[in-house]
Amino acid sequence: MLNQIKTAVLLAGLTGILLIIGFFFGGELGLIIAFAIAMLLNFVSYWYSDKIVLRIYRAKELPESKYPKIHKYIKEVSKNMKIPKPRVYLIPTDNPNAFATGRNPKHSAIALTDGIMHLLTEKELKGVIAHELAHIKNRDTLISTVVATIAGAISFIAIMARFAAIFGGGRDRGRGLELIIIGLLAPFIALIIRLAISRSREYLADETGAKLSKNPEGLASALKKISEASKRHPLRFGSQGTSHLFIVNPFSKSALVNLFSTHPSTQKRVEKLRSLEV
């Protein structure tokens, strides 16, 4: 419940930043334009985000005839969580990873990489599947889309503010300086809020998946393996902007990226999982 409240508060904060920027940049008209941009992006992402992200990662539908065990695991966990069985996809990469997408449980999909199916044991793979289906059950796939959309709109408007300040001439230097400051600070604040939401949803999915599958140790062990293997085999295609979708960040990471990671540290996640009573 605490994670749910935290997410709602942070989402409200993100929306507030968007509207404030719009109002400051163009008064009532700017507010309307900012709102319109957000609604348009939300509409597109709500209806097509799953198709877009699956295409980005070259995912192909996983036939049940060739992978009966995977479909069996997903069917069992879906039934236990009381949600419809999602569509199942395969991503062609050695990076061991997985993500869930879709606007609601009835229109959802889970994608697994080649690497994860070769790396994990049956118990560990079931733990990962439970985590991803927990994202679907908790409607995190929709939340992550909304967050990404609003944050994207903030960045877009902030860029407009910086250009207006730089190329708007010298008629009002004080106003230009204010626009530059807002243009620089707003995307950074939006990033911090996005990271906070993403991390809280990861903890919640860990807990929900572990409790409903009664398999916290399977997920804990899988997270450690995936984290280590991802360092050796980082994902070579895709977008850093979608890293929050995966169970572990699949891209190569610098110290700065670690500081602003969309995921909590693997060590903390494992500790929390092993402290659960199921």
Mean pLDDT of 221-249: 88
CB count in 10 Å sphere of residue 83: 17
> What pLDDT score was predicted for residue 148?
66
Tell me: the pLDDT tens digits for 26-73?
777 877 877 787 677 767 777 887 888 899 899 999 999 999 999 999
Tell me: the pLDDT tens digits for 106-165?
999 999 999 999 999 999 999 999 999 999 998 888 777 677 667 666 777 777 766 766
Question: For residue 170, is pLDDT > 60?
Answer: no
Q: Of the residues 28, 122, 132, 277, which is catalytic?
A: 132
Tell me: the pLDDT tens digits for 192-212?
777 777 788 899 999 999 998
Query: Is 228 noted as a catalytic residue in this protein?
Result: no
**CB-based contacts of 207-211 (< 8 A; 24+ apart in sequence):** 207/272, 207/273, 207/276, 208/134, 208/137, 208/138, 209/127, 209/130, 209/131, 209/132, 209/133, 209/134, 210/127, 210/130, 210/131, 210/273, 210/276, 210/278, 211/276, 211/278
Which pTM was predicted? 0.79
Phi, psi for residue 23 in degrees, rounded to 5: -65, -45
Question: For residue 22, is pLDDT > 80?
Answer: no
Domain-wise residue ranges, the chain: 2-274
Tell me: the pLDDT tens digits for 71-113?
999 999 999 999 999 999 999 999 999 999 988 899 999 999 9
Burial of 57 (0-12, 13-18, 19+ CB in 10 A): buried
